[in-house]
Structure 1
Amino acid sequence: MPAGSDGAGVLMATVAVLVAVLGLGCALALLWLYRRLGLQRGQLRKALSQLAHSEQQTRDANELLLAKQGVEQAFAELSTYMQGIDQHALVSVTDAAGRILRVNDKFVQTSGHGREELVGQDHSMLNSGYHNHAFFERMWTTIQRGEIWRDVVCNRNEADGLYWVDMAIVPQKDAAGQMARYIAVCVDITEQRRQEDALHYRATHDALTELPNRTLLLERMARTIARARSRQRPVAVYFVNLNRFKQINDGLGRGAGDQVLSEMARRLQDQARGGDTVARLAGDEFVVVSEGLSRSMVEPFGARLQTVLQAPVLLSGEPHVLGGSVGVALFPDHGDDPETLVKRADLAMVQSKSRSDGGVCIFSSEMQDAIDVRVQKEARLREAIVRRELVLHYQPQVDFETGALVSLEALVRWDSPDYGFLMPGKFIGLAEESGLIGAIDTYVVDAACRQMRQWHQQGHGWIRTAVNLAATKFSDPQFKTELHEAMARYGIPPGVLELEVTESLAMRDPDAALVLMHELKELGILLSVDDFGTGYSNLGYLKRFPADRLKVDQSFVRGLLKSPQDRAIVAAVVRLAHNLNMRAIAEGVESEDEAILLYALEVDEIQGYWMARPQPAEAVEKLFDQPMLLDPATFLQREALPVVLLVEDETITRELLEHVLQSFGVRVASAASAEQAMEMFHQHDYAIAVVDHWLPGSSGIELLREIRKRMPHTARVLMTASNDPQVLRDAINIGGVAHFLAKPIDPAVLRNVVHDACWNTAAQRRRTPPPPAG
């Protein structure tokens, strides 16, 4: 290329830019034009001269004319193209020292500087400070070797604003081979850069809090770790999870949840030190990365984070306290890459959440061991479904009126060759977290239907069987199809398969639950509402649910003998079930006393360990031939017997008196102290209370006064070895005692006293005279 050719430099620089900006096709077209014609007018003149010479020699004038027109047209195309480049690109020419010799109008317009300001200066007047010294060193090294340099440059205009250009610099040498000038052609890509930056920001930042997201967090952590490694400094990674966020988000709505997240993000940023990174991963999870914290400061800094999260958040003018759980992982102690450190900080956070004090928890290898075991167990559970290691045990449900077995509840177990025989509590939680619960539910329905058909084929008839299903199964669009196919596969008639729907599940989306329940009823499936009373109840929806049974949760059954509140709840649930034309069934019955109380409260059916534990199919089918699993007459007789409250602290004396009293045909509820006795007041409607004078921590007279106040119809008897007249006066005046028994107790006297007291109490209630003692 001839020396001094600005046009050639402009074109070459433009081609370099256009390859990236306008595409390879445009650049190749320009090169074709250049090679076809050359660039300098001298070359064109030479071409025209050659054509003129040819004209003298050729006889075909038309051919010569066409050749001239072709050259002129090509030159016109090139001129037009160069004008387009001049309008589109910023062009500057500098001498070998970098001083500006010429600039085009586009350069002046974009930079905001006048041409006279620019000429004679170097490009440093446009330096934005964005690029470091090494950037420009690389540029000068390249062009001084005579090579074209190309990169994206951020400049500063006269108004102190930034603009971005895609720049190519073409060096040119003179005839002696010395560097003569540099020609720079730039395309303004500021708007493109803004759009790219906006897209990059959205891709690397959380839209709500504007904190770095996981992508940017890991990038920054990689740089922080590399820097810390070279400086031999520690890095602390804090994983923060908000407490009670789900309740706020579900209860008050997403708007309130977003407000909480924004506020908590601000608080965490306020606590961060210079150079720290605060990021939001997802939901209510945040990460704080801090370099250079000494080991002694790791926990205090985490505690500071917890403290600011504990402060109330105002939502619609009302304060709400959430708090947060914080786990920490340290570089290099717990990992040397971002992913590992975040995962291990997360594990520590989970440990923090499970601790009673909820304090900051630092990762330990034991936590990783536990998660490794969990991952392995999840893999084995996945295999167990395929290998049919899950088995069903069946627990009888018995009708109080007939004493007969009326249905079974199918309960899944895992018979694992690695972990042994596991109850649901050992693997259902894992199944829910790992997404395997749906497959297990499908397995259980199929296995229960298959077993029902087998019993039917063995001549036992169709045994009604209930199965529990997870919440996720009810939202599965294939759920109804799976049920229909299972029933068809095994020929299950209507009214045999029952599904237990938990109250909390039904109330999560009651309208959807109502629709689904009606669809299930159309398939002939029975429904029961399980765990009733333990969650949020909406009686307006409950009355519309087409359920067949209402299950009293075992937590209330367990408290029947101790809590008057539990007894009142059970009574209310039973009445509610009957008023809604449902049968009431109580689960978790573990003693005869509980069964007697449930019978008195008019529960229809019971199940529990007192009658039968869950058993394999081959064991439970032995019960099918028994006409009764319990005798209703027992409950009728026991319900009619009067109950005596016996309070005696000496074990031998108490057991002897229990035996004597039971021989009289009464039921005995005994206690060893006044405190224990008062806890039993609500358990029965006592006909008589027989109380020892001397009791640990209280006198028998004080207890009798409490009985007189709270159970006025109960006859009161004091056992005492004292002859002190004051004791007798206090017993009569304070305790309202009707009878005294002198120790040691004479069984015959005790019998007469109990008989008279019981019948007097009954007569007082029924207003009928007592019969003579027999």
Structure 2
Amino acid sequence: MDSYKEHIWQALQELDTNALIFVDTEGVIRDINNGVTEILGYSIEDLIGRDIEILIPPAVKQAHKDLYAKYVKLRNNGEISQSKIIGAQRFFPENVNFPNHGQIRMAAIHKNQQELPISLTINEVRGEADLLIGFFAIIQNNSQQHQLQQTLSHQSSHDSLTGLMNWHEYDVKISALKNRRLAAGEEYQAAILYLDVDYFKTVNYFSRSCGDQAIKKIATWLLNSTRHGNNRDADAMINRFLADEFILYLPDTSLAGALSLARRLKTDFQTLNLRTTAQPYLTSLCIGIAPVTESTILHEAVTQASGACSVAKSKGRNKIVVAKAEDTSHLQLEPTIYNALSNKRLMLYAQKIVPLLPGNSGKNRISYEILSRMEDESGNMLPPPVFITAAEKLGMATKLDEYVIENTLAQLRKNPDHVSNLSRCSINLSGDSASSERMLSFIIEQIESTGIDPRKLCFELTETQQIHDSEAAMELVVQLREMGCKIAFDDFGIGYSNYQSFSRLPVDIVKIDGSYINKLLENPQARADVEGMIHSAKSRALEIVAEYVENEAIVVALKNLGVDYAQGYYYAKPVPLEDLMGGTITEG
């Protein structure tokens, strides 16, 4: 039997695909096979009689030596059972927890002093009386598998086109950096740049590959433009967020520093050719900037910077905008608005619209505009400019409008006596609603299901939001007017509602914004503007409503200017729609 063992060991010694090492209880290497030379580069003369720590990184040598001796002693004394690592295959390099030393990177060291990825299996060797006499180790070269694992890990955490970190890796790295700084008691400040390439679709005109090459070129340019020599900790961390949008995280950077870098990037980018020498293409950048503080969550800062970038694009491209604190305040209202719509905490109010000129009055007839008030979860009333602006930014303006239309018409249906005395009920439509292909069918469904005479309805286009789909808006306006509804331009003179609106959409009524009416008496420029609006409306045979009418002097001035109707606190404050329907109310 012993002769068989000698032959087996002889065969194992000649094997060079696996490194086999026998180490005694003193931690001294006593025997190796040819595989050690093939895999680790050491000869027999290099290792026999040497401590096993020759194969271990310097930082781990002493800790390993101490633990080795302790394990042998306790094991021979019967004080501990066999370690879990015995007989188990392990892979290195990896971080190993050494008592009193913490996490230390453990690896095999090749003779050339480079780390070598290996798999390691260890077993105890016992002699007479079952006494522990050493350990037998089997080592395999794991370089190929390790490289494959690294490649797969990189691919899962990086953008395949640019090699930049994807969002998950980006978030993890930045959070770890922030936590290290805070744990060390260091001051923490950073900034986010959100970059959007202007007119990038033009790059893709000839082929998709042109766009891919341009994205790669931009990524390389950003890396080179934000490096700080050998101090990689100061380098920007870059993420390709969307197709042609990039995020730069700037550590230890104030807003002033971020703005300085943004200006340099904006200027330099205009010289970056995104196509070829034969077919050059130069464009520009829009950049949004947001600060990152100790209390800032990364995605909140990115949202702020993205919002600022959108503002930059709306200002004509090739712009830089620094985010303001209120830029993301609307995000906090999203659940409040959703709950208010779901739980009927959006209350309908109405404010009378009163005729100013003879011939516009009707006995016992009433006109009003539907307004809304929102109650939050605590019962507090939110100012309309707050929740309406938030709804527009959150893309919820259409849901808000649908709620108001549905509930207003339902109230009218329940009060036929009131409807018989109703001249006109005006309901606001946001720019998003006017652009929505669904809104027209929704309004028609509500009118048909309630039986309300469409001639008693007016829809006011509130163009504080731009109408993005002019074709959908045109169809909505034309169809509603054909049904008998009136169409009004609300807040005329501000936002996107101006003289050009007349040529875009056919309307019946113009409502002059209150910011002009408030200054009518003391500001000659405001009066000239109002006179111009009235003249332009009258030349098109449009009715005119003045908003924010608050005193008799303004009423007299408006009558002299030929304004048809007035709306404001001088005549009536907004009241709950249900209260208004409680009896017949005469205008004036």
Alignment of 1:59-458 (within 5 A): 90-96=17-23, 97=29, 100-103=32-35, 121=46, 147-153=87-93, 164-165=117-118, 167-171=119-123, 173=125, 178-179=133-134, 181-187=136-142, 188-202=144-158, 213-226=170-183, 228=184, 234-238=185-189, 240=191, 275=233, 302=254, 305=257, 308=260, 311=263, 313-314=266-267, 316=270, 324=289, 326=291, 328-329=293-294, 342=297, 382=339, 386=343, 388=345, 390-398=347-355, 400-404=357-361, 407-414=367-374, 423-425=383-385, 427-429=387-389, 440-458=400-418
Question: In the alignment, is residue 503 of structure 1 matched against residue 459 of structure 2?
Answer: no
Give the counterpart of 1:588 among 548, 573, 584: 548
Quick check: which one's helix share is greater? 1
Q: For structure 1, list consecutive stretches of 5 or more residues without a partner in the other structure.
A: 11-85, 229-233, 291-300, 330-339, 630-774
Give distance in 1, aligned partners of 2:502 and 2:112: 70
Shift of 1:217: 1.9
Name the CA distance, whole Å, in 1 between partners of 2:384 and 2:166: 43
User: CA deviation digits over 1:407-450, x for unaligned, max 9?
Assistant: 32111124789656664246545666777755543332223212
* More deviation, 432-441/570-579: 432-441
| Correspondence 1:537-576 to 2 at 5 A | 542-576=502-536
State the distance in 1 between where 2:5 and 2:439 align. 81
How many pairs does the alignment contain?
496
Q: Note closer, same or farther for the CA distance 1:272–1:182 as it changes in structure 2 (3 Å cut).
A: closer
Decide whether the 8 Å contact of 1:531 with 1:553 is kept in 2. yes
Q: Give the distance between the partners of 2:86 and 2:56, measured in 1 at CA.
A: 26
Instruction: Work out the CA distance in 2 between the residues paired with 1:520 and 1:277.
Output: 58
Maintained 8 Å contact 2:491/2:511: yes
> How far apart, in 2, do the equivalents of 1:507 and 1:516 lie?
12
- Counterpart of 1:305, as a letter, is G
One-letter amino acid matched to 1:184: I
Is contact 2:191–2:255 with CA below 8 Å preserved after alignment? no
Deviations 1:548-583 (A, max 9, x none): 333322222223333343333333333444555643
Backbone CA RMSD of aligned residues:
5.9
Counterpart amino acid of residue 103 in structure 1: G
Tell me, in whole angstroms, the C-alpha distance in 2 between the residues paired with 1:592 and 1:604.
Answer: 15
Aligned to 1:464, what secondary structure does the other structure show? Answer: strand
Q: Secondary structure at the match of 1:236?
A: coil
Pick 1 or 2: higher relative contact order, CA cutoff 8 A, min separation 6: 2
Residues 466, 496 of structure 2: 8 Å contact kept: no
Q: CA deviation at 1:489?
A: 3.3
The alignment partner of 1:449 has SS state of helix
Aligned partners of 1:132, 1:205: CA distance in 2, in Å? Answer: 39
Given that 2:489 and 2:497 are in contact with CA atoms closer than 8 Å, whether structure 1 keeps it comes out as: no
**Quick one: distance in 2 between partners of 1:396 and 1:506?**
26
Contact 2:121–2:139 (CA under 8 A) maintained in structure 1:
yes
Distance of aligned partners of 1:400 and 1:128 in 2 relative to their CA distance in 1, 3 Å threshold:
farther
Query: Residues 324 and 483 of structure 1: is their aligned pair in 2 closer, same or farther, counting only changes over 3 Å?
Result: same
**Deviations, residues 715-752 of structure 1 (Å, cap 9, x unaligned):** xxxxxxxxxxxxxxxxxxxxxxxxxxxxxxxxxxxxxx
For normalisation by structure 2, the TM-score amounts to: 0.62
C-alpha separation between the residues in 1 aligned to 2:413 and 2:552? 34
What are the Cα deviations for residues 1-43 of structure 1, in whole angstroms up to 9, with x where unaligned? 9856869998xxxxxxxxxxxxxxxxxxxxxxxxxxxxxxxxx
- Distance of 2:510 and 2:58 partners within structure 1: 72
Aligned equivalents of 2:443 and 2:496: distance in 1?
Answer: 28
Alpha-carbon deviation of 1:467? 1.8
Whole-angstrom distance in 2 between the partners of 1:269 and 1:360: 25
Output one character per residue of 1:233-283: Cα deviation in whole Å (capped at 9) or x when no partner: x243436466xx7xx969877999x99999999888759987568657978
